[in-house]
Amino acid sequence: MHIRFLGHSTFLLHSGEHRLLIDPYITGNPKSPVTLEEALTWQLSAVLISHAHGDHWGDALAFGKAGTPIIATAEIGGYAQKHGAANAVGLNIGGSYAADWGKVSLTPAWHSSSFPDGTYGGMPTGLVIELGGKRVYFAGDTCLFSDMRLIGDRGLDAAILPVGDHYTMGPEEAARTLALLRPKVAIPMHFATFPPLTGDPQIFKRDGEAQGVEVRIMEPGETTEL
């Protein structure tokens, strides 16, 4: 699996003929290395949404209106369908969606979730994604919580975790999750996009590698391989 970081919390996962876009915040993202016009030319298998805040929901409707399935909570799926994304799929926490590319399961996240217009977006979630024989946990926006141990019991090739502080956990708390999640690789996200996000990913790397976890700090546009 190839993982491309597109700034903030936006990632493109690619394995074989399949591409999954996570939290497609492109328009208005000061860290995005691509334009929406470019991204719309990608042949995506699905767009996955962790929660409805504008910096995660982002350009989802543009992809949904073009026919790409949007996979998220029932509230987000229903909102997407109502606004022209006919192939949107609504799940709930604990549920999974399987397709020819693999599977995604929704996990809890401790945060909030509403659309930019104020519509309730359901519970915020994390995503456990199975693609190309790999399993990746995308935490979404969250704090540390003890049930991460149960997520780790699934066996994780990688964990993508927010470290920016203020709206999510900071780097020290994010590093503490690694003892619960036990991933082979950890990738920090949701830092340095806006002034309040002051969490230092180097602290996360230091504390994570002290636990024996490989931490990869990615620059926007960079790709890594599992």
For the question of whether the overall pTM of this predicted structure is more than 0.95, the answer is yes
Query: Of 74, 78, 70, 58, whose CA–CA distance to 6 is shortest?
Result: 58
What is the CATH architecture of 2-219? 4-Layer Sandwich (3.60)
Distance CA 200, CA 202 (A): 5
Distance CA 12, CA 16 (A): 13
Based on C-alpha coordinates, what's the Rg of the chain? 16
Token digits of residue 89: 């799929």
All structural domains of the chain with their residue ranges: 2-219
DSSP string, 80-126: HHHTT-TT-EEE-TT-EEEETTEEEEEEE-SS--B-TTS-B--S-EE
Q: Tell me the pLDDT of the chain averaged across its residues.
A: 98
What pLDDT, on the 0 to 100 scale, is given for residue 63? 98
Confidence class of residue 1 from pLDDT cuts 50, 70 and 90?
Answer: very high
Tens of pLDDT, residues 40-93: 999 999 999 999 999 999 999 999 999 999 999 999 999 999 999 999 999 999
Check: CB of residue 147 under 8 Å from CB of residue 117: no
In a 3-state reduction of DSSP, which class is residue 73?
A: strand
Confidence class of residue 24 from pLDDT cuts 50, 70 and 90?
Answer: very high
